[in-house]
Amino acid sequence: MEKTQVAAKYLKTGEMFKESLRDGRNVFYQGELIPDVTAHPATGGGIDIMAKIYDAQHNPETQDTLTYLNSEGERVSTAWMIPRTKEDLKTRRALTDYIARETFGVFGRPFDLMPLVPVGMAAYLSKFREKRPEYAQNVLHYIDYAQKNNILGPEVLVDPQNDRSKAAAAGARLFDVELGSKLKGGESTPALLRVVKETEEGIYISGAKAVGSISSQGNEMVLSNLMRPGLLPEESLWLTVPINSPGIHIVCRETVSVDSANAYDHPIKSRGEEMDSFLIFDNVFVEKWRIFNYGVPELNELYGSVVLGAHWHILSRLAAKAELYAGAAQLIVEALGTGQIPGVRSIVSDVIQYAQTLRAYVLASEELAQLTDDGVMWPDVNMLTAGRLHGIIHYPKIIHNLQELCGQGLVMRFSEKDYEHPYIGGKLEELLFGRGLTSKQKNLLMNFIWDITTDSHAGRIGLFENVNALPAPLLRERLYHEYDRTPFMNHIRKSIGLPLA
């Protein structure tokens, strides 16, 4: 049966999304204010990638993956769905898989990650109601608002990296002072994000945040401070704020995606990237309806539970990307005609095993999912932590496997202009053809592998994956504390005659 497009008043098109970003935001690149982020070489390509996802919401072939009919019978983004059943989790994950495949998994903060943080608050809404009922009511209201406005943006949770000895001196807190003021001894330091003023209408926040990926390319951001000993009430925050709010200054890092890059020479890099940024907040006003917590450190201690859905998203994206890597590995083997070599088949099998293992962790986390006290189906934390740990430990090896399969082809790559030369192009075709591929086609494949494994763009992705998933030592520590070994310990004690704990 042919699919028909459903009218969608709550869904933006790609052009509508782009227009929503032309809002007077303060975004800086190499010391200059960007007048239009949709057109700037550092930010425009990534916005184009996300705009295609917006357009796909209206495509009859993909609308059932990217959208669903809400209780009002209106088609809305699946990104903001609150999963109530295991089937809902699978529906929600299908969206993540689609976006990961469309972006080759290089967007760590894509279309659908930030929504899982407010959804995570909904999963533990009774705890928010118990501590700050006047703000807890905002969680479901914001999810409805963001869904009906088709909002895209980041969750920015990482604190600035600076002299950590000052944190120790301040009693395990990073900062004691107002933004721009001085520490003892006259040294200046930026401030942990905190409330500096409260009014009847809302609060004012100042401070800074790091690794604000896609903050220059989205509509709104979710903000919080990582849980830490000694977090003060004015530093205890969960809230959201429009990216164009007065007082927000976004400083972009150097781009690793060149706008002028040829799509043949750089099939991935030329498309654009998610831009990482440093965020400065100088007396930014936050309306009351956008606040989910202010002043209760215990609610920031729910961080691990609230962001569990985001960790499920990270693992799902890694699994989808790993499956693409398995496909890339086989394409290399077929292009070079090396499939008869046992060592080559062994390398490809390693990539397949990596992909299958991550997929198994994702499926297991959903199969073992349980309803929270607030009726949200939330994936299993142990499977997610173990899966993320496996993913980040083995990721460098998988990248190396793809490089090794290419051999000299990854080192000896050529540009489209080389193939356009009447003599050089002819000789390249004569001498460097592949199995069932022309030299130019084989070279295009090598350019693709270069972009996902070796180029500066790939280097940024590798670094980001390690930070995004948490470094392996921290994941090991989490797994140690999260995984309950008591039933198995008691079984051994009982079996061999040791006293029960």
Task: Give the burial class of 259: count Cβ atoms within 10 A of its Cβ; 0-12 exposed, 13-18 middle, 19 or more buried.
Answer: middle
Task: Give the burial class of 120: count Cβ atoms within 10 A of its Cβ; 0-12 exposed, 13-18 middle, 19 or more buried.
Answer: buried
| Predicted pLDDT at 185 | 41
- pTM metric for this prediction: 0.91
Give CATH superfamily name and number for 14-25+32-148.
Answer: 4-hydroxybutyryl-coa dehydratase, domain 1 (1.10.3140.10)
| Predicted pLDDT at 75 | 95
Rounded Cα gap, residues 185 and 179, in angstroms: 16
| Predicted pLDDT at 1 | 38
| Predicted pLDDT at 458 | 92
Is domain 155-296 given the CATH code 2.40.110.10 in the classification? yes
CATH number listed for the domain at residues 307-489: 1.20.140.10
- H or E segment to which residue 154 belongs: none
Give the residue ranges of the chain where pLDDT is below 70. 1-7, 164-191, 259-260
Contact 477, 470 (CB under 8 A): no
Contact 43, 9 (CB under 8 A): no
Contact 284, 247 (CB under 8 A): yes
| Predicted pLDDT at 169 | 45
| Predicted pLDDT at 236 | 93
Ordered by start, the domain boundaries in the chain are: 14-25+32-148, 155-296, 307-489
Rounded Cα gap, residues 62 and 473, in angstroms: 39
Q: Encoding tokens for residue 479? A: 């797994």
| Predicted pLDDT at 466 | 81
| Predicted pLDDT at 64 | 95
Residue 499 is given by DSSP the state: P
- H or E segment to which residue 281 belongs: strand 277-287
| Predicted pLDDT at 191 | 55
| Predicted pLDDT at 470 | 73
Rounded Cα gap, residues 490 and 448, in angstroms: 53
Contact 89, 367 (CB under 8 A): no
Q: What residue has token string 């763009």? A: 457
Maximum Cα–Cα distance for the chain, whole Å? Answer: 83
Q: What residue has token string 């500066």? A: 456
Rounded Cα gap, residues 218 and 417, in angstroms: 36
Q: How many CB atoms lie within 10 A of CB 487?
A: 7
Rounded Cα gap, residues 215 and 113, in angstroms: 13
Number of residues written out for the chain: 501
